Amino acid sequence: MSFVIALLIGTLFGFALNKGGLTRYANITGVFRFTNLTVIKFMLTAIVVGGTGVYLLNQWGVVQFPNIPATFVAGNVLGGLVFGIGMALTGY
Amino acid sequence: MNPARLRLILLCSGAVLLAAAGVLFLIPAQPAQAQCTTPSSCKTCHEIQGQMPVSEQGLWHKQHTLFDFCETCHGGDRNAATADLAHTGMRIGYTEISTTCKSCHPSELETCVRTYADELGLSESSVGGILDVASSGPADAAALIAEIQSGTLTGPALPEAAAAAPSENAPVAAETANSGALNTVLWFVLGGVAAGASGYIILNERRLKAGNQPTLAVLSRLAAALRRENWSPYAAGVLLGFTGILSVLIGQHLLSAAGPLATITSLLVHAADPTAADGSLYFRFVVPPAVDWSVMLFLGIFLGGMLGALTSRTWKLRWNDDPVWRKVFGRAPWKRIVLGFAGAVLLQYGASLAGGCTSGLAISGGMLLTPSAFLFMAGMFVSGIITVWIVFRRKY
């Protein structure tokens, strides 16, 4: 059953990504050129909405935070640097 | 370069410098944690959040909590979000060191047992006895975990543990799990019905005031909006935010995409040659070959993207038809394929280094306001901007 939920949530996720336009090379490289800010608008909106919701739910005791990605400064930054090169080259 | 763009670049550079200054405050930070994917619940609560940490208790824990395989010895559910669910099936005291050590260190078992023999108070004869049993214990991690969960695991008890009360080794009683999830789904259905009903009432009132346009026109306008190829990024972002909330609420997992890719790789390796990954701690414990929740999410992402394209009638198998790409690289599809492959390798490598990709780390982590997410995004943007600048050269 939880796998069905995973499938449904993933479908919503993919749908949002596609409609948001993040599957296009022009949009991804556009944000790195400061001409097309779709990516950053999308990501930050998602973070704000999701964060508000999750923190609210946490305060009401409905959810507890699941495994939090560990903060490991060198790994996060280095990984981000490598990731950015890949993102700019492929456009995804 | 037009002044608006220049202003934007300066603004972003200023923000980045500010963030970098903030990073300096983070540097006297964490003990080195070898994390390649999201840590387990065990590690999150006990070590990261510091509730009853074991990393300083005894030589073995000091040297091994660097990794993340508590459930191999102690059982339990490494992905549960609450203490009760995580401790279901857990063995609290654990004494069968010969069999568990063997699953990772089959060829140096004697060295390992002797290293910790002092700490455990083993005499020479006990060590020999343990090593004798080791040769007949479970052959690998999967068999070991199966034995733990079925409760059939046996082995020599350590001298002082033999005197401990038997109830210390009994698994924690299982709780009935996930009855809360169905309740939540019901609330969402009720909420959806309420929202739909109120929406209908509002729209109907408007229709009556505006002089009897057919109701279907409103619905078809909604449907047409859904079918548009490009939503406003704000609308899509709100949808993604809700998806993230649902994922935590009903799925009890965070969104992630790089993790399942690694798991799928592990599955493929296992299918091709089950013994090939035996020497690799990464493939056996960090991304074990199993179809788990995140892999189903990943499949869903793929299907969802197709659904989006299908509803906007832009679904098409294509090699290379992006206009910006063509402006820079020309029409040849082989360049797209080669750069796509090379870039994808970098993407996954970077995601593994950082502990997640944009969905797992930037968005899910950002939702929880972890510093790692923002560090990751900073690095991503810096190198992305430089790369695009180099690649586009004069057309930047």
- Residue A85's identity, in one-letter code, is I
Q: Which tens digit of pLDDT belongs to each residue from B9-51?
A: 777 777 777 776 666 655 554 444 444 456 777 877 787 777 7
Residue B9 token pair:
């670049």
By the CB < 8 Å criterion, does B223 face chain A? Answer: no
Q: Is the pLDDT of residue B64 over 60?
A: yes
Nearest to A38 by CA among B134, B324, B154: B324
Q: What is the ipTM of this complex?
A: 0.87
Partner residues linked to B90 by β-bridges: B75
Q: Which tens digit of pLDDT belongs to each residue from B150-204?
A: 655 554 444 333 333 333 333 433 333 445 566 667 777 777 887 877 777 777 7
CA dist B323 and B303 (Å) reads 25
pLDDT in the model for residue B31? 46
Sign of the CA dihedral with B260 first, then B383, B19, and B10 last: negative
Residues above pLDDT 90, as percent of chain B: 0
Which residues from chain B sit within 8 angstroms of residue A45, using beta carbons?
233-234, 236-238, 240-241
Q: Which tens digit of pLDDT belongs to each residue from B374-396?
A: 888 888 888 888 888 888 776 66
Which residue does chain B place closest to A86, by CA atoms? B343
pLDDT in the model for residue A28? 83
Helices B293-311 and B258-272 cross at an angle (nearest 10°) of: 110
Is the separation of the CB atoms in B133 and B106 below 8 Å? Answer: no
- Residues ≥6 apart with Cβ < 8 Å to B332: B320
By the CB < 8 Å criterion, does B85 face chain A? Answer: no
By the CB < 8 Å criterion, does B248 face chain A? Answer: yes
By the CB < 8 Å criterion, does A61 face chain B? Answer: no
CA dist A23 and A38 (Å) reads 11
Q: How far is CA B140 from CA B112, B153, B329, in A?
A: 17, 13, 50
Which residues from chain B sit within 8 angstroms of residue A57, using beta carbons?
245, 248-249
By the CB < 8 Å criterion, does B362 face chain A? Answer: yes
HSE-CB for B61 with a 13 A CA cutoff: 15
pLDDT in the model for residue B299? 86
Sign of the CA dihedral with B354 first, then B356, B359, and B361 last: negative
Q: Which tens digit of pLDDT belongs to each residue from B313-325?
A: 666 666 666 667 6
pLDDT in the model for residue B137? 57
List the Cα angle A63/A79/B396 in 5-degree steps. Answer: 115
Q: Which tens digit of pLDDT belongs to each residue from B109-154?
A: 777 777 777 766 667 666 666 666 655 555 555 666 566 556 555 5
In three-state secondary structure terms, B355 is: coil
Largest CA distance in chain A: 44
pLDDT in the model for residue B136? 58
CB contact under 8 A, B244 and A43: no
Residues above pLDDT 70, as percent of chain B: 60
Which residues from chain B sit within 8 angstroms of residue A90, using beta carbons?
339-340, 343-344, 347
CB contact under 8 A, B355 and A79: yes
- Determine which of B191-195, B257-261, B263-267, B318-322 has the lowest per-residue pLDDT on average: B318-322
Is the separation of the CB atoms in B246 and A2 below 8 Å? Answer: no
Which residue does chain B place closest to A27, by CA atoms? B324
CA dist A79 and B297 (Å) reads 23
Nearest to B73 by CA among B138, B2, B4: B138
- Residue A6's identity, in one-letter code, is A
